[in-house]
Amino acid sequence: MPPILQLDVQQIISQAISFLILLWVLKRFAWRPLLSMLDQRRERIDQDLAQAAAKKEELTRLEEDYRKRLAAIDQEARLKIQEAVQEGKQVAMEIQGQARVAAQNILAKAQETVEMELSKAKVTLRDQVVEMTLEALERMLRKKLDAQTDRLLIEASLEELEQQQSTKTS
């Protein structure tokens, strides 16, 4: 009989038992750990992918938000610059107007002062002329001299008066 056909019930049952023992060992130490690990990894990858998608969506939303904010800030800055420029121009015009008014006031005051000084000088001059004339007349009368002498006295008084005038103006 060929060896393959030499059946032995004990060997058949032994082979069955050895397979069952192997099945128990592999189930305990290979199949369960590996299958549960594969499931865990699959779940983790699913979770990570979902998280990545959510984060990407959030990132896109934030990017859009920031872009809008930047655009608003840019617009606001442009408006503020324009306002500042306008305000600056207005302030400059006001300052110019004030300066012009102040200058006119100063000029008017200076003219007024000059005129006052001039009128004062005129009054002083007239008083001095009067005084000198009176002094010359007094001298003339005191000496009672001739017309030639009177003339000389008056001229001498006038020269004296001119000298005084020139010293005052200098």
**Per-residue contact track with another protein, 38 to 67, x per CB under 8 A?**
x-xx--x-----------------------
Which residue number, 25 or 91, has a Cβ lying nearer to another protein? 25
Contact between 27 and another protein (CB under 8 A)?
yes
Is 107:117 a contact under the CB 8 Å cutoff? no
Question: Does 16 help bind another protein (rule: CB under 8 A)?
Answer: yes
* C-beta of residue 136 within 8 angstroms of C-beta of residue 157: yes
Distance of CA 109 to CAs 65, 95, 102, 117, Å? 64, 21, 10, 12
Answer yes or no whether residue 116 interacts with another protein by CB under 8 A: no
State in angstroms the smallest separation of the CB of 31 from another protein: 4
Nearer Cβ to another protein (44/69):
44
The upper half-sphere exposure of residue 50, i.e. CA atoms within 13 Å in the direction of its Cβ, equals 6
- Residues listed for the chain: 170
